[in-house]
Amino acid sequence: MPVASPEMYRKMLTAARDGHYAYPAINVTSVTTANAALKGFSDAGSDGIIQLSTGGGEFASGLGVKDAVIGSISIAKHVHLLAERYNIYIALHTDHCQPKKLDTYVRPLIAETVRRRAAGKANLFNSHMFDGSELPTDENLKLSVDLLKVCKENEIILEVEIGVVGGEEDGIDNTDTPAEKLYTTPEDMLAVAEQLGGMDAPFMVAATFGNVHGIYKPGNVVLKPKILAEGQQAVADKYGDDARFFLVFHGGSGSELKDIHETLNYGVIKMNIDTDTQYEFTQPLAEHIISSQSELTHTADAMANKKKFDPRSYLKKAEAGMAERIAKGCKDLKSDGKSIFA
């Protein structure tokens, strides 16, 4: 099935909210990692979200180009082509984009979708994230309103962040963020509803409740999921139940499964997974190198074994390892076996 249409993407999000499950949103950086995401979702019978960051897009364009937009377009086109071979729906998304990068990343990608639509083609990306969390709330929402207008015109869903996800990921370092900013307040949620809720356009909200980017042992991240429930209830009390947000969970590594499951009851429909899939991609590579070390290097006495240093020999293992972790993510988020493709 091709990448989900705007209508099908909205149905995906609604089905997840109503069914109390969420889609893993997998950061990819290459054709191989994109293929792993497609296989992982398919193996789990789950629809899913494949996403690129500015750093991922830059890497995908190669060392000779280093252009986040070109790299993201390249991977997105690859996913559009390969998704047709799978019986699930895939949505394409871009991850954290800070204000200073809007004009060099998100806006050019929206412009690419505008060109495609004019030519009768499908949207390149289904949704984009604007991370204005470094700004005062009023400035964050002002930019979000402007972006949502453009997204609405082109049937793109906007994701906004209110509050700050701690830790560091892909060059965005929030390790020194004051503790109070790591928790979105009901007042923050009401401000989002007031500014964006009346625009008759779907959007997602990355609210924070102690979640942090990075790698942690299970139990080391202390979450307060009730913050999401309190914010959603404040919005519903003022604007009605239909105003409740599609929520996004960032920084889930190290979270207890019971906390993850609790968030699903409060409207989380998308959970970003990057650190764990990076690890499961790399482990088969490490094992290959350790087990084949003597055959990977030419010596004075013998030549290396071509079957061992052929990149396909170890990248297949890496793809399989990452795909397996993605399928587990689908199970953990309860999206496995729930594809709406059928």
296 within some domain: yes
**Structure confidence by residue, pLDDT tens digits, 206-219:** 998 887 755 545 55
| Residue 80 domain flag | yes
- 280, part of any domain: yes
- Note the pLDDT of residue 218: 52
Asked whether residue 277 is domain-assigned, the answer is yes
pLDDT band at 1 (very low <50, low <70, confident <90, very high): low
Look at residue 105 and tell me whether its pLDDT is greater than 80: yes
> The CATH number of the domain where 195 resides is what?
3.20.20.70
Taking the C-alpha atoms of residue 317 and residue 287, their distance in angstroms, rounded to an integer, is 10
Q: Which of 130-139, 207-216, 219-228 has the lowest mean pLDDT?
A: 207-216
The encoded tokens of residue 85 equal 């071979």
Our separate counts of H helices and E strands in the chain read 12, 10
Mean pLDDT of 176-198: 83
**Predicted confidence (pLDDT) at residue 164 exceeds the cutoff of 50:** yes
Instruction: Report the share of the chain in percent with pLDDT over 90.
Output: 85
Query: Has residue 221 got a pLDDT over 90?
Result: no
Domain annotation covers residue 340: no
Question: Which residues in 128-153 are b (16+ Cβ under 10 Å) and which e?
Answer: bbbbbbbeebeebbeebeebbebbbe
What is the rounded average pLDDT of the residues 223-248?
96
Domain annotation covers residue 282 = yes
Active site positions, annotated: 95
Number of independent structural domains in the chain: 1
* pLDDT for 172 beyond 50: no
Would you say residue 316 lies in a domain?
A: yes
The reported pLDDT for the residue numbered 333 is: 98
The chain-wide mean pLDDT, for the chain, equals: 92
Q: How confident is the model at residue 229 (pLDDT cuts 50, 70, 90)?
A: very high
What DSSP designation does 208 have?
-
Average of per-residue pLDDT across 282-310: 97
Domain containing residue 22: 6-332
Give residue 167's pLDDT. Answer: 42
Q: What pLDDT sits at residue 174?
A: 41
Question: Is the per-residue pLDDT at 181 higher than 90?
Answer: no
Residue 32 pLDDT greater than 80, yes or no:
yes
3-state secondary structure of 23: strand
The terminus-to-terminus CA distance of the chain in angstroms comes to: 11
Q: How far apart are CA 79 and CA 86, in angstroms?
A: 11
Q: Is residue 337 part of a domain?
A: no
